Structure 1
Amino acid sequence: MRKKKVQVLTLLIAAVTIFTLFIFPCLLMDRPTITYFPENPRIRFVKAETNLNIRPEDKIMRLHVSSETNEANDLMQNFSLLYRNNRLVSILNRWQKNTRQLSSIKELELSSGFFTALSVHQAERHIDQSIYGKEQLSQDFLMVVPSNGSFRAFREPKSTVEANLLSSYTRELDTGRQELLRKAAKRYGFRLSDYRVVPLDALTGESVSRIFPFGEKKSERITGQLWEGIYKNYVRGIQLTQGQRVQALGSTMPLLLIAQDHMLIIIETESHQIVLLRQNFS
């Protein structure tokens, strides 16, 4: 009887491992990936929004992502990463052909913490036998705290208690990020003083040209290629070694280390392994 239980447990572990390392990445691969294409002025977003809200009575958190362009596109995609306390808890990826509007909703079990949702909205159009694209970034954040056996949420603190909660989380986050950077620099042999450090959630449509001060077209290309790399090398599985890949869920929000001609992306996996990716600026 004991031997049979051991065999069943072994099979379950094997099944989970196969799904995590092989099936889950393949499910994502069946969908269009975030791919950078040069822009065309004919493609314009009239709406690109990410919204987090809660239903305390149902213990539900709702992530709603929507976008709309001026004309129909050959392909539209909404792709979102949801973090709780700086760790990835959910991925939302929806695409549709021949449309100018796209809306995506995901509901999760409600829990306390600081939630950040980052989205990239992409429209792709084929014009004169060439492929063009347009990307728009949006985000939302929400602090969820316990309240009388239920939950409440806020974006901006409206009381001393809320301000202290947010301040405490920010200090803890900054300390954790500094420690991660210190360990990454030691492991991979780079000098932090050579880089500007920017967390991924600081990258918005308004801040792109300030974070990448290389001119509008180049900064937009770098941003598009960054999200393409995040999808292919992060969301579809983080490669640790030649034959080892782990899921992105549970990993930290990427930290961008920006130099003049390249950028390093630092991530810590759920099992606390530090991963470094590199993007060269062409």
Structure 2
Amino acid sequence: MHNKFKYYIFLLLLVIVFVTYTIFPHQQTKESILFFSIEKEARFTKTKTSLHQTSSAFGEQYHLLWSIESTLDRKAYLRQDVGLLYENGQLKGTLGIKKWKTNTETIKEQKIVSNSESALFQAITFHYGELHNGESIRSTQKMSNAQLYMIVSPSKHASSFIHPKNKAESEWQVALNQYTTQRLQSLWIKGKAKYGLTNKELISIPLTDLYQYNQTPIRGLSVADTQKIIGQLWEGLYKNYMIGFRNENKPPMNPIGSYLPLVVINLKEKTLYVLIPTKDQDYVLLKQRIS
């Protein structure tokens, strides 16, 4: 009799769990950017990524305020802005991951980033909204970016600039640009050779340059096709890079410390690749079909 009572209690608990998940499915957490057909009527009235120095310690650690913000011209069923920050070509941090907002127009996120060396900081943000109209679901998207040069000298306070204002800053700009470009180009060349992505007809775009295609088409594509590819690309990046990525059969890896991904598009084969040099200078290659 006692065992039969325990059995009925167990069945009752199963029924309660089933009913809860059936009646309240909206309570399950959604943790993914999903691309839907673009809602042409929706407009972002503001999209902004910014980097500002907040301290100028004498030859020691400095701090940056990294902010992202956007406002849509209407309330969206779901809103999310996700940001990536690179220091001399290496991923320094992410912002907005798994931070969804519902029934809102505006998102603001910020983070303090600390460092102690001279560096070129590059940030890119994907601003996203999911729009519902009855049974119709569409999305809206836009990108923004920011760049900042931080200079550290043992005999001076840490300083920063976006555009050089004197000869010394111009020299630092050239030096940091060359250092970052050379280390990335070396990694990308080796990675493209490893995976056979050396055809001259392929289109290669560093991830931090994608913001240039908000309204401008990628070579060989229309604006509409470009927006579709970019939306699908960020969907893939969110799932397979920003919240962790795999290298073959190894456990998921934290992307922090990995190097700037290179987007490679093969229009002839209708395939998009994302070449990601890992922190230990191995490679992960993501692949998407494009239509």
Length-normalised TM-score, structure 2: 0.81
Structure 1 residue 134 corresponds to structure 2 residue 140? yes
Structure 1 residue 99 corresponds to structure 2 residue 104? yes
1:26 aligned partner: none
Structure 1 residue 268 corresponds to structure 2 residue 277? yes
Distance of 1:41 and 1:190 partners within structure 2: 34
1:120 aligned partner: 126
Judged with a 3 Å threshold, the aligned counterparts in structure 2 of structure 1 residues 212 and 120 are, in CA distance, closer, same or farther, namely farther
Structure 1 residue 89 corresponds to structure 2 residue 92? yes
Deviation at 1:267, TM superposition (A): 1.0
214, 232, 243: which one pairs with 2:221?
A: 214
Judged with a 3 Å threshold, the aligned counterparts in structure 2 of structure 1 residues 37 and 207 are, in CA distance, closer, same or farther, namely closer
Distance of 1:76 and 1:278 partners within structure 2: 26
Judged with a 3 Å threshold, the aligned counterparts in structure 2 of structure 1 residues 30 and 176 are, in CA distance, closer, same or farther, namely farther
Distance of 1:76 and 1:212 partners within structure 2: 30
Deviation at 1:212, TM superposition (A): 4.8
Distance of 2:40 and 2:264 partners within structure 1: 31
Contact residue 253 and residue 267 of structure 1 kept, 8 A? yes
2:151 aligned partner: 145
What amino acid sits opposite 1:88 in the alignment? Answer: L
Contact residue 208 and residue 223 of structure 1 kept, 8 A? no
195, 198, 221: which one pairs with 1:191?
A: 198
Range that drifts further, 113-122 or 56-65: 56-65
Deviation at 1:180, TM superposition (A): 1.5
Distance of 1:74 and 1:194 partners within structure 2: 40
Judged with a 3 Å threshold, the aligned counterparts in structure 2 of structure 1 residues 234 and 105 are, in CA distance, closer, same or farther, namely same
1:43 aligned partner: 42
What amino acid sits opposite 2:33 in the alignment? Answer: I
CA RMSD, Structure 1 to Structure 2 (Å): 2.0
Q: Partner of 2:252: helix, strand, or coil?
A: strand
Deviation at 1:209, TM superposition (A): 3.2
Range that drifts further, 116-125 or 206-215: 206-215
Contact residue 142 and residue 214 of structure 2 kept, 8 A? no
Distance of 2:92 and 2:56 partners within structure 1: 22
Contact residue 72 and residue 100 of structure 1 kept, 8 A? yes
171, 181, 187: which one pairs with 2:188?
A: 181
Length-normalised TM-score, structure 1: 0.83
Distance of 1:207 and 1:128 partners within structure 2: 28
Range that drifts further, 137-146 or 154-163: 154-163
Range that drifts further, 67-76 or 53-62: 53-62
What amino acid sits opposite 2:51 in the alignment? Answer: L
Percentage identity across paired residues of the two chains = 27
What amino acid sits opposite 1:69 in the alignment? Answer: L
2:251 aligned partner: 244
Q: Which runs of 5+ in 2 are unaligned?
A: 1-27
Distance of 1:170 and 1:72 partners within structure 2: 40
Q: Partner of 1:272: helix, strand, or coil?
A: coil
Deviation at 1:64, TM superposition (A): 1.0
What amino acid sits opposite 1:197 in the alignment? Answer: S
Range that drifts further, 45-54 or 86-95: 86-95
Distance of 1:181 and 1:194 partners within structure 2: 16
Contact residue 125 and residue 145 of structure 2 kept, 8 A? yes
Structure 1 residue 202 corresponds to structure 2 residue 202? no
Contact residue 43 and residue 123 of structure 1 kept, 8 A? no
Residues 240-277 of structure 1, C-alpha deviations (whole Å, 9 max, x = no match): 12343211000111111222122221111111111212
Distance of 2:29 and 2:180 partners within structure 1: 35
Residues 158-192 of structure 1, C-alpha deviations (whole Å, 9 max, x = no match): 12221121112222223223322331133223324
What amino acid sits opposite 2:253 in the alignment? Answer: V
Q: Partner of 2:230: helix, strand, or coil?
A: helix
Larger radius of gyration between Structure 1 and Structure 2: 2
